[in-house]
Amino acid sequence: MEVQGQILKTGELNVPEIGYIINHWVTVAWLSLAGLYVYYVVIADLVKVIRGNKKEQEQGESKT
């Protein structure tokens, strides 16, 4: 059968259990690290935005 033939042929390229476990953990770890990085840089930026707004407000008040 053609389909079975393909499986037998490509089956040699199958990853072993340890390979799949590493693959799965890499995906979750990468996602988590990417999330942490995005949180870190976003919070740093938002702090700057809030400080900038405060400064602007204070300058506006001192002008009036």
Partner 1 sequence: MADTAPLPSWSIYTILIAQGATYALLVWFLGRTRGKTAEAFLSGGRDIGHGMINASIVATWIWAATLMISSWTGYHYGFIGPWWYALGATVPLPIMAYLGRRVKTVMPKATSYPEFMLNRLDRKNHVLHSLISIVVALWITVMIITGGAVMGHVFTGAPFWAIALLIVIIFVSYIPFAGLWASIFADTIMSLMLYVCLVIIAAAVLVKIGPSEIWAGLIEVASTQPTLHPGADEVEHSSQWDGLNWLNPSGLGFLIVNTVGNLGAVMCNQTYWSRVTGSRDPQTVFKSFMTAAVCWWPIPLATGTALGVAALSQGLVVGESYSYGSATILFTEPEAVAPVMAFLVLGFVGLTIFILAVGSATVSTGAGEILAVTTVLVNDIFKGHINPRAKDRTLLVASRASLFIIAGTLLAVVLFFRHIGFSFAGMYQAMGIAFSSAVIPVIMACFVRTTNCNGAFWAAIIGSLCGITYWMATGMDLLWGVVWGNVIVLSVSALIAIPWTVLRPQPFDFNSLREAEGTTRK
CB of 53 to partner 1, least distance (A): 6
Residues 6+ apart with CB under 8 A from 15: 23
54 binds partner 1 (CB under 8 A): no
| Binders of partner 1 in range 23-52 (CB under 8 A) | 23-25, 27-28, 30-35, 37-46, 48-50
DSSP 16: P
Task: Find, among 11, 30, 34, the residue nearest to 22 by Cα.
Answer: 30
Type of residue found at 21:
I
Enumerate binding residues for partner 1 (CB under 8 A): 2-4, 6-7, 10-11, 13-15, 17, 20-21, 23-25, 27-28, 30-35, 37-46, 48-50, 53, 56
